[in-house]
Amino acid sequence: MYAEERQQAIAVLVGQRGRVSVTELSEQFGVTTETVRRDLAVLDRGGLLRRVHGGAVPAATLTAVELGTTEREGSRAVEKDRIGKAALDFLPPSGGSILLDAGTTTRRMAAHLPTDRELVAVTNSVPIAARLSIYANVRLHLIGGRVRGITQAVVGADAIRMLGELRLDVAFIGTNGLTVAHGLSTPDADEAAIKRMMVASAHRVVVVADSTKVGREDLIRFAPIEQCDVLVTDDDLPRSARSALSDCGVEVVIA
């Protein structure tokens, strides 16, 4: 296979799968990883894909465009539900405190919270707060501030000020993008600011994100990868990505 043919095939594969690793491409096309990296560099310069740590994603993946809650709710719903349930293993003992970030995956986690464990729960999500308000075993704190309609998340200076006074056992954080090089990222500056404070406010940070978020780099980083203690994701995560994250000290849990 000529280089041009291989590069075209790689571009098609990335478009179909959403993310591929250098190792996988090397094995599939029977070439060295160095050759694959050169191919990706050519395709990246041509705007046909975007190189990320360990592989490539479609060109449209690196964007500041943000989907609304309605669009995100139906995306990979089965995987998000499994992730939400698996994240429950990281709840603190009875009497402990948790923070639930706004997001469709954290919302699924909230739906499965145990009813036999006393918890203090803090959230900036209007839908999560509405759900948890009926739990007799949960002492709920809704962070105050401006509500972003697109994500139904509370953001802004008041919210950040309140979070700055808190210290929580575990923060369950969602993210739009996650890479070793760029860390955790999101398209919106206000969302990034409050997520940054959430990460700083917790003794332990558990990121709940489906595998399509891994390899994405969105506009604004809110935490380096070193501040992520655990990633709970689905079994579509490439082996190479799991190894890279583990090498950075991140515990990867496959739901």
When mean pLDDT is compared across 54-63, 159-168, 183-192, 206-215, the lowest value belongs to 54-63
More confident site: 164 or 17: 164
CB-CB contact of 68 with 151 (8 Å): yes
CB-CB contact of 189 with 221 (8 Å): no
pLDDT in tens, 57-67: 877 655 444 54
C-alpha 5/C-alpha 85 separation (Å) is: 43
When pLDDT is cut at 50, 70 and 90, the band that residue 71 belongs to is very low
pLDDT for position 150: 84
Helix (H) or strand (E) holding 154: strand 153-155
Q: Three-class SS of residue 19? A: coil
pLDDT for position 119: 98
When pLDDT is cut at 50, 70 and 90, the band that residue 75 belongs to is low
Q: Of the spans 3-12, 46-55, 146-155, which averages the highest pLDDT?
A: 146-155
Q: 161 Cβ partners below 8 Å, 6+ apart? A: none
pLDDT in tens, 78-110: 999 999 999 999 999 999 999 999 999 999 999
More confident site: 138 or 19: 138
pLDDT for position 69: 52
C-alpha 125/C-alpha 6 separation (Å) is: 46
CB-CB contact of 35 with 23 (8 Å): no
pLDDT for position 62: 52
34 pLDDT above the threshold of 50 = yes
pLDDT for position 73: 52
Alpha helices for the chain (secondary structure H): 3-17, 22-29, 33-45, 69-73, 77-86, 104-111, 126-132, 157-163, 189-201, 239-247
Percent of the chain predicted with pLDDT > 70: 94
pLDDT for position 141: 97
More confident site: 82 or 55: 82
When mean pLDDT is compared across 85-94, 159-168, 211-220, 230-239, the lowest value belongs to 211-220
Mean pLDDT of 32-36: 93
C-alpha 172/C-alpha 31 separation (Å) is: 40
pLDDT for position 36: 94
